[in-house]
Amino acid sequence: ATPVALLVGTGRGAQLGILIKGPEALEQTRRVDTILLDKTGTLTSGRMSLGQVTATGDADTALRYAAALESASEHPIARAIVAAAAAAPGAHGTALPDVSGFRATAGLGVSGTVEGHAVIVGRPSLFPGPLDPRLIAAIDASTGTAVVVGWGDEARAVLDIADTVRPEAPAALAELVSLGLTPILLTGDNARTAGQVAAAVGIEQVFSAMLPEDKVATIRRLQSEGRVVAMVGDGVNDAAALAQADLGIALATGTDVAIEASDVTIVRDHLGTVPDAIRLSRRTLRVIK
Ligand code: ADP
Ligand code: MG
């Protein structure tokens, strides 16, 4: 490899909004045959919003407790909940209650003590159940991500969180396929939401309800089958998967840990930059060879 050609490649990359960490990253990009994409913030805008709130008791309290905990989280779900609580009627000027013992568990949710209650906010599976039929109905009716809020071991509310598929995602996925890559959706979210997003962008293979360690194990398995795997992600919980992949691609809108763990960073907030990066690396390496 001549340093000059590499400089051309990375310089052109910068113009396209792609930062490449080094020559090894370019080489990996050329060899990739399988591309795994995270859902939230990668295939979707990640600018989530709160829809329907269903509670067995006082919905405002459930939302306030949830927002108190989520104000310490940087997950897109957390931002949606905090924004909704701030915008709620009567919330004006009222501070959120204090939290002690805050804990975030990647891919599951958050917990902590609020006004003397051990509050949990996250996946429905965090609550052993049986859940109130109204909450079960709300989870079933959700077209987005159903987040459950509870305390004292009891689920008390379901917050339906909506996200939107990035408008450029279907075209970007079609380009990746035309470049010969097999796209796979890899997400911590539930199977139904994952399936809807996959169908909307044109992905056939889906792995859902994946914990961060499941994402890593899935990549290892694909690698052991001889595949060269790229992973595109943005979240804290994607860092291990980005590091395990042969090529980690982080969106610059993502978290610092995700960017740190990656070989390539997409500076332009547009998914079309991912196929651009693949094409660029192939061209650059043709020049070098
Ligand atoms: P994705 O793979 O789509 O980026 P994550 O792995 O970040 O999703 O999260 C998986 C699931 O864990 C979410 O769909 C949500 O149910 C739950 N979850 C994760 N973080 C939080 C949080 N801060 N608050 C509530 N729920 C959360
Ligand atoms: Mg994510």
Q: Where are the domains of the chain?
A: 8-45+165-288, 49-162
Nearest-CA residue for atom 22 of ligand 1: 109
CATH number for the domain whose boundaries are 8-45+165-288: 3.40.50.1000
Please identify, by atom number, the ligand 1 atom nearest to the C-alpha of residue 124.
16
Going from the Cα of 289 to the center of ligand 1, the distance in angstroms, rounded, reads 44
Percent of the chain with pLDDT over 90: 62
Going from the Cα of 211 to the center of ligand 1, the distance in angstroms, rounded, reads 9
Confidence class of residue 84 from pLDDT cuts 50, 70 and 90? very high
Report CA 220 to chain centroid distance, whole Å: 19
C-alpha dist (Å) from residue 272 to 42, 91, 94, 228, 261: 11, 40, 42, 21, 21
Please identify, by atom number, the ligand 1 atom nearest to the C-alpha of residue 146.
16
Confidence class of residue 9 from pLDDT cuts 50, 70 and 90? low
Extract the runs of DSSP E, i.e. beta strands, from the chain. Answer: 18-20, 34-37, 49-55, 99-105, 109-114, 117-122, 145-151, 154-162, 182-186, 205-207, 229-233, 247-251, 264-266
Give me the chain's average pLDDT, please: 88
Q: Ligand 1, from 77, 121, 148: best to mutate by most atoms within 8 Å of Cβ?
A: 77
* Residue 181 confidence (pLDDT) above 80: yes
Which CATH number, 3.40.50.300, 3.40.228.10, 3.40.1110.10, 3.10.580.10, labels domain 49-162? 3.40.1110.10
Going from the Cα of 1 to the center of ligand 2, the distance in angstroms, rounded, reads 35
Confidence class of residue 115 from pLDDT cuts 50, 70 and 90? very high
Q: Pull the structure tokens for residue 140.
A: 């079933």
What does the pLDDT look like over 187-236, one tens digit per residue? 999 999 999 999 999 999 999 999 989 999 999 999 999 999 999 988 77
What does the pLDDT look like over 30-59, one tens digit per residue? 889 999 999 988 999 888 999 999 999 999
What does the pLDDT look like over 142-176, one tens digit per residue? 988 999 999 998 999 999 999 999 999 999 999 99
